Amino acid sequence: MKRKLTLIGMALAGKLITLYLTITHLRGVDPVCPIFGASGCAIATTSTYAKLGPAPVALLGFIVWVLLLYFAIQHYRAARSLWPMLGLSALGVAAAGYFNAIMLVRLENICFWCEMSHALMLGVFFVAAYSLFGERKNWAAKTGAVAAALFFVPFLVAVQATPDPTTLALAKCLTEKNVTMYGAFWCPHCKEQKNLFGAAFDSLNYVECALPSNPNEQVQACKDAGIKGYPTWVRGDGERLFGAIELGRLKAWAQC
């Protein structure tokens, strides 16, 4: 009974955390971070890694937690199988490994609420595994080994995909020169520009102009800047370039 209630409690907590992150992302406000600094949560919810296409990653996490809560309640009420919870939480642990690598290596920050969600996911995985295999010999060691593999394989894969040093240096120089790129998540030329920078894109000053709730509308910052098309590059002195620009041309234009 205690394990069943524990699963419900962890799933409910994970659901509330990801709901909060989803709401702050869609409203364009920074989450309140109790520790690790406010910038960690803000960077996590505004970087290019915070979306899969038009969908916020937090929203996908919320959906996973809703499913886990449903499975936990079904298990509590009717003793349904925990295999769906174990499988879904295993995917969650793997995702936690990947996004931890993104936060630590590429964004160089820690998001408190993200880490809380990841810890809860690991907890669900262990409790579900204990409920299924707790009577077997060495279940804890075997479950720990599986959890470590699920977490660290995606972590190491993400770490290996580090930015090209030359491209990263250009991105940092553009930022130092107060050059800003304005774009929209649905814009194919913006995606082309992002691909040119690769993992170094997160070091740029980038403003997402499209509202998640209405892609045809602009956020106020883009209206104030008079952005008419995407992508638009704006230099500190107001000079502009339009479209996906080759890196060599950007370097010369910004005098990097």
What CATH number does the domain containing 173 carry?
Answer: 3.40.30.10
* Residue where one domain finishes, among candidates 143, 160, 177: 160
Same domain flag for 18 and 131: yes
Tell me, what's the pLDDT at 38?
60
Count of CB atoms situated within 10 Å of the CB of 250: 21
Pairing verdict, β 232-234 and 240-242: antiparallel
* Residue where one domain finishes, among candidates 125, 160, 195: 160
Count of CB atoms situated within 10 Å of the CB of 205: 16
Same domain flag for 133 and 60: yes
pLDDT over 70 at 37, yes or no: no
* Residue 249 CB contacts under 8 Å (≥ 6 apart), including other chains: 241
> Domain span at residue 68?
2-160
Same domain flag for 181 and 197: yes
Residue 209 in contact with residue 219, Cβ under 8 Å? yes
pLDDT over 80 at 255, yes or no: yes
* Residue where one domain finishes, among candidates 145, 160, 175: 160
Same domain flag for 224 and 113: no
Tell me, what's the pLDDT at 225?
94
* Threshold 0.75, pTM exceeds: no
What CATH number does the domain containing 46 carry?
Answer: 1.20.1440.130
pLDDT digits (tens, 9 = 90+) for 189-212: 999 999 888 878 888 999 999 988
Same domain flag for 152 and 174: no
Residue 51 in contact with residue 210, Cβ under 8 Å? no
Which range, of 7-16, 45-54, 246-255, averages the lowest pLDDT?
45-54
Same domain flag for 38 and 154: yes
Question: Tokens in use for 211?
Answer: 């509202």
* Nearest partner of 101 among 165, 156, 45, judged by Cα: 156
Mean pLDDT over residues 71-95, rounded? 92
Same domain flag for 109 and 16: yes
Question: Tokens in use for 121?
Answer: 């996911």
- % of the chain with per-residue pLDDT over 70: 97
Same domain flag for 142 and 169: no
Mean pLDDT over residues 70-80, rounded? 89
Mean pLDDT over residues 55-60, rounded? 91
* Nearest partner of 22 among 53, 50, 1, 2, judged by Cα: 50
